[in-house]
Amino acid sequence: MHELFQVVFDATDPQKLAGFWAKALNYEFQLPPPEFDTWDEFAEKMGIPEEDRDKLIALVPKGKVGNRLLFQKVPESKTSKNRIHIDVPSGAERNAPRLERLAAIEEKVNELVAVGATKGKAHSEFGAEWTVMQDPEGNEFCVV
């Protein structure tokens, strides 16, 4: 079982946003239940109309326990600041030397910009460093 709890993203394009977060967090698209070869086969069996089959998509951690991410299609775009956000790990240990942490953060920031993120301001406070970013639909997150 992968799921500890689920984080849900509202999205205008769930497939695209899920693709971004799969790369950002090293997640993978959730496979259909074992008795189905495809999600379309599952949707057909459940009576889900074809025009509604792009409304949900889920990601799960690759081969480890973690939180499921669900992306659901909504008609409106993002309108205000997030009240909660995800910290994306840079790969550096939190107790690594500062320059090593900064280099890892910058590398991860550049990787995410290349797949559609927008870089915001870098911060350093209380012995921690992070860079604020936005995903392709404007949701804020931090690279730590």
Delineate the domains of the chain, giving CATH numbers in brackets.
3-73 (no CATH), 86-143 (3.10.180.10)
For residue 101, pLDDT over 60 is answered with yes
Angle between helices 14-25 and 98-114 (to 10 degrees): 150
pLDDT, tens digit (0-9, with 9 covering 90-100), for 86-95: 999 999 998 8
pLDDT, tens digit (0-9, with 9 covering 90-100), for 17-35: 999 999 999 999 999 999 9
DSSP 50: G
Q: What pLDDT does residue 1 have?
A: 46
**Whole-prediction pTM value?**
0.84
pLDDT, tens digit (0-9, with 9 covering 90-100), for 29-65: 999 999 999 999 998 988 889 988 889 999 999 988 8
Alpha carbons 138 and 133: distance in angstroms, whole number: 9
